[in-house]
Amino acid sequence: MICTSCGIQIVESSTIYKCRQCVNHFVCKACTKKEHNRPSSSHHTLDKMRTLINSTTSAHSSLTMEGKSAEVKTDPQARSTSIFATKEYLTMFLSYCDHCLKVLVCGKDIIFNCDQCPNNFCICNQCLSLMPNQHPSMHTFSKGTSPSELLQRAHDLEHFDVICDRCRRHNFNGIRHHCEQCQSNYDLCEKCIDTIHKHHTFKIMPNSFLHAHNNSMLAKRTLDAIAKNTDTQNLTWRDPITGWTKSDAENMIQQAQKEQEAYITQLQNISEHELGDAKKAQETQHELHRFTMDGLNVQLSLLNDKVLYLPRR
């Protein structure tokens, strides 16, 4: 796990401190002494968490760190076992099994949906054989949306108000690579990442809609874990994958909903703007066509006049 105050990896067996006000603010012991992290601060109140252990990786064993293309440009010291650092979290849609609560990667893991449940009850491949005894026997399950389509949906999401600093594409889709060393914003699309600016390190910046969706899924999973286990009813219990409490998860769902609504609104505004531009372009084309036809009619009229008054031999 990375300390979000100093950016240095928190080694295993070290103590972690979680901010009550922030959802993803985890601090190492050394950074608790910093002014903006002190309990007296009006912005942060830190709670001591249990020691970081390897068991947190078991519930999301299908997740991996950033891929080969990112490995070349990522500082090895910045690696962590946090789910928030995985390439799947940053670039793909996440879900979870409603039975075992395993985090699932849409487009990578096989997911089955109940054909009768109205609330999109889904399970992993391992739990499918348990459903005759753990789910209404009359219910049937079928595979969800094809992996290729889910991967394409995530890939097609646009990064609004972002420009690739090489090809100058605006609102580009695909993976956004953000330079960690440039003072001003410097971003490259997935097509340009290996062609320029190789002397700096980059990190993957998730699409805002994808980021909100994945946080919402992880938050709902946390609430389901609390509902299923009596040992987790304590308000201070934290999900071992995200570090979120019940309050954190509830706040995250609300925040994610606002972020998704903002993305959809911006998408609608862009679509309406493009539609308006297309309509204006069509009207301009019609006007040019009318102007051209009027000009041709005038020329034809003049030509007819000339023909009419041509002297006869």
What is the reported pTM?
Answer: 0.68
Geometric angle at alpha carbon 103, from 102 and 108, rounded to 5°: 115
Residue 264 within a domain: yes
Residue 201 within a domain: yes
| 149 and 162 co-located in one domain | no
Q: What is the CATH number of the domain that holds 175?
A: 3.30.60.90
C-alpha closest to that of 255 among 21, 88, 18:
21
Residue 61 within a domain: no
Residue 228 within a domain: yes
| 202 and 225 co-located in one domain | no
How far is the C-alpha of 18 from the C-alpha of 247, rounded, in Å?
13
Average pLDDT over residues 167-193: 93
Helical segments of 186-245, H only: 208-228
Residue 78 within a domain: no
Residue 89 within a domain: yes
Q: Total domain count for the chain?
A: 4
Model confidence over 42-99: pLDDT tens digits? Answer: 455 677 775 443 333 444 445 544 433 333 333 333 344 688 889 999 999 999 999 9
How far is the C-alpha of 187 from the C-alpha of 189, rounded, in Å?
7
270 sits in which H/E element: helix 246-308
For 264, the domain range is: 209-297
Residue 75 within a domain: no
How far is the C-alpha of 89 from the C-alpha of 94, rounded, in Å?
7
What burial letters (b/e) apply to 164-186, b meaning 16+ CB within 10 Å? bbbeebeebebbbbebeeeeeeb
| 226 and 189 co-located in one domain | no
Is residue 39 pLDDT above 70, yes or no?
A: no
Q: How confident is the model at residue 26 (pLDDT cuts 50, 70, 90)?
A: confident
Model confidence over 109-164: pLDDT tens digits? Answer: 999 999 999 888 999 999 999 999 889 989 999 998 888 999 999 999 999 999 99
Residue 64 within a domain: no
Model confidence over 99-109: pLDDT tens digits? Answer: 999 999 999 99
| 240 and 200 co-located in one domain | no
277 sits in which H/E element: helix 246-308
| 252 and 277 co-located in one domain | yes
